[in-house]
Amino acid sequence: MKRLLPMPSKHLFARLFLICVFLVAPVLPFGPREVSHEAMVVAASREPVRAAHGMVASTSKIASTVGVSVLKRGGNAVDAAVAVALALAVTYPAAGNLGGGGFMMIRLRDGRATAIDYREMAPAASHRNVYLDRDGNLVKGEGSSTIGYRASGVPGTVAGLELALKKYGSGKFNWAQLVEPARRLAAEGFQLPYNLTRSLRAQRENMERYPESKKVYLNNGKFFNEGDVWRQPELAATFARLQRFGPREFYEGQTARLIAEDMKRNNGLLTLEDLKNYVAKERVPLRSTYRGYEVVSMPPPSSGGAVLIEMLNILEGFDLLHMGVASSERYHLMTEAMRRAFADRAEYMGDADFVKVPVAGMIDKAYAERQRRGIKMERASTSAEVRAGRPTGYESEETTHFTIVDAAGNAVANTYTLNDSYGSKVVMRGTGVLMNDEMDDFAAKPGTPNAYGLIQGERNAVAPRKRPLSAMTPTFVMRKDGTLWFAVGSPGGPTIINTVLQVITNIVDFDMNIQQAIDAPRIHHQWLPDEIVYEPYGMSADTSRALTARGHQLTEKPRYMGDAQGIMIEEKTGVRLGASDPRNFGEPVGY
């Protein structure tokens, strides 16, 4: 698994997960009436951050602080989201971006919800076989869908932020004001933390081949050290142009021309016309319930919402609580739900503007009942026998998510990405803009695994102006009175959906608070390859033996998954509870 940034000390996670497995697991099977709140608190590495008014949870404390500053000055959650997203392009370059895309879920205090789709689009010059050689095999290295100038889709981040601000901003901040914190961070610099310097050094092999990338991220081969002040003058100049001329400058102005010229010099697919023609879209969120609590999540071209809801619907038919949070029974059932939903993902999901996607059928509870009938408690299914079902009706692990709740109760859950860590590894000359390698999220060769081992079908084949399938899953969950309970999302490629799934079930089924739910160990299964991925120190030997006895295959090497960022509203007080994943270096900031 590639990581956004180097992980914290393994000893920290050893302590955290041993506490979760050996202190929580023994008490839960006795039933809900016998589990005290105190027992659950023991399992958390820390309490959530508390704030009376507004909260921002992101993977960068600097960016979170930028967002809270906007909230303090009267901005709403959408205003703050624009400022945070732009700041992350400076402080968290592995995934924060101007040259990528993503999805923003917005829920207003009156209960209305919407989805902003600013996913990248395939350039007009792309086609179904653009990444195949003469023999029909996938191209490797330069010219492939994973690295270099031909790997990039048309970036959507700037257009998506513009659309969100125009329709749902407070009106108290204009575009230029929200760009300013990011411009200042790029121009004046910020002190590099140890983890970011390690992350930049780890990119040496890939970035040395591109002069602009070597200059910006590798300090011309001299490398940056912890404590250095990192300035990005060309990126600052790009932000200054965006301030002066507005968001369309990125698609029609000097920045667009610089990107298009550099692409042409290096045999890239993307043109000035592609940039001019990019459109962000507003879409209707998917809605369902889990044990009576409303779940609102992202529709296609993200597969996240539909696959998440299908799994929740399947699990709703089982009493997870009495099985125990870390029991082999729970892990068995979650794996079987994941296996079935990811099989459907591979068969049916794609850009709904281009292909017919049976979302209504996939999230139907009657369909989940049919899926449940094939699950046997005593033994595992195999992915060879579990094919896509027949519902009726019709990303990268290097992603980042942030969640915001303002004083009025408006909320944003935003996940965006460059796909791989540092995207295509190419900085566009004269702009400071790092581009995505999002074309790998298409099925470059349908039926062949992508960089994350995901099998994808014809519905996600490359086509001009099409948006690639994604696993990003920004999600809201409401209390039974209709008020916002919590919002959450995560990076992690295909593990995103299962991370969000487990956070939700940890809260709803096991009464965890938002920090405990994010801290708890995770598993992952994506249909193919047919194996359970689990985390270091996250599964006892007894549990792994019980799963193996049922016929499950466990991965040889455990790994950490996700970087969830969530906010929960405390029921009696309305206090915002912010939580950042201990698997990375985020820190919630509130006021």
Active site residues: 399
Q: How many helices (H) and strands (E) does the chain have?
A: 21, 18
Q: If you search the block for the tokens 């919407």, which residue do you land on?
A: 114
User: What residues contact 196, with CB distance under 8 A and at least 6 apart?
Assistant: 5
For 269, half-sphere exposure in the C-beta direction (CA atoms, 13 angstrom radius) is 31
State the sign of the Cα–Cα–Cα–Cα dihedral 250, 251, 253, 259: positive
Q: What is the DSSP letter of 20?
A: I
Separation between Cα atoms, residue 394 and residue 362, nearest integer Å: 9
Q: What is the DSSP letter of 337?
A: H
Separation between Cα atoms, residue 291 and residue 446, nearest integer Å: 37
CA 66 to chain centre: 21
AA letter at 360: A
AA letter at 226: E
Beta-sheet pairing, 565-569 with 533-534: unpaired
Q: What is the DSSP letter of 532?
A: B
Separation between Cα atoms, residue 527 and residue 469, nearest integer Å: 17
CA 236 to chain centre: 26
Separation between Cα atoms, residue 90 and residue 189, nearest integer Å: 9
Separation between Cα atoms, residue 168 and residue 82, nearest integer Å: 11
Separation between Cα atoms, residue 402 and residue 509, nearest integer Å: 24
| 348 φ, ψ (degrees, to nearest 5) | -110, -20
Round the CA-based radius of gyration of the chain to a whole number and report it.
22
Q: What is the DSSP letter of 384?
A: T
DSSP states of 302-325: BSHHHHHHHHHHHHTTS-HHHH-T
Identify the CA nearest to 504 among candidates 476, 471, 533.
476
Are 168 and 174 a contacting pair, CB within 8 Å?
Answer: no
Are 147 and 206 a contacting pair, CB within 8 Å?
Answer: yes
Partners of residue 401 on adjacent β-strands? 415
CA distance to 74, 176, 352, per residue, from 77 (Å): 10, 17, 28
Q: If you search the block for the tokens 């971006």, which residue do you land on?
A: 97
Separation between Cα atoms, residue 349 and residue 336, nearest integer Å: 19
Are 554 and 544 a contacting pair, CB within 8 Å?
Answer: yes
Q: If you search the block for the tokens 């029909």, which residue do you land on?
A: 136
